[in-house]
Amino acid sequence: MPFQSHENFWTLRFPIPHLYIVSSNINGLLVVVCEGMVREKPSSKEEARQYLKDYSGSHASTVGSVLVTNLKTGFRKGEWDRVEIYFHEIPDEIIEKLIEEGIVLNVAGGLIIEHPLILPFVKQVVGTTDSVMGLPKALTEKLLREAL
């Protein structure tokens, strides 16, 4: 299933004629919520560092959405998905390594729970990891079935 650029979204084309999924989170529309604040991509290393320190010993949520459009019929439906992530204390040296790598600067809230450096400090995920990573599979399948 190749990704194709489409205006401000990434479009995932399925082998179903005239059916496309627009996943808003791939274009950075997935957000992280922590301490009542919406967090998009960090604007600096300092901001990413603060985000990661805020997650340490605490929790955050991700909120993302999937929009399915059947281009042949015009049917369109979207829904959102929320996941809660709880963390153990994250040592400062781990935070600094993540900042040094730079990848945390490219994702919503600087949050990459599948990264080998952060994974040992994830206490619990209430929801699905695929949703945190950007595309909730079960929701996507449900919307696809409804669009057919």
Q: How high is the pLDDT of residue 138?
A: 87
Please tell me the distance from the alpha carbon of residue 85 to that of residue 31, in angstroms, as a whole number: 13
Dihedral class, residue 110 (left if φ above 0, else alpha if ψ from -120 to 50, else beta): left
In the block, residue with structure tokens 């529309």 = 29
The C-alpha angle with vertex 28 and arms to 114 and 116, in degrees rounded to 5, equals 15
For 47, the domain range is 3-147
> Are residues 100 and 121 in contact, defined by beta-carbon separation less than 8 angstroms?
no
Model confidence at 2, pLDDT cuts 50, 70, 90, reads: very low
Higher pLDDT, 1 or 98: 98
Q: How many domains does the chain have?
A: 1
CB atoms within 10 A of CB 111: 25
**Range scoring the smallest mean pLDDT among 2-11, 26-35, 100-109, 137-146:** 2-11
In the block, residue with structure tokens 């019929």 = 73
CATH number at residue 143: 3.90.950.10
Could you report the per-residue pLDDT of 19-60, keeping only the tens digit for each?
Answer: 555 443 222 368 899 999 999 999 999 999 999 999 999 999
Could you report the per-residue pLDDT of 93-134, keeping only the tens digit for each?
Answer: 999 999 999 999 999 999 999 999 999 999 999 999 988 988
Q: How high is the pLDDT of residue 76?
A: 81
- For residue 37, give the H/E element and its range: strand 37-39
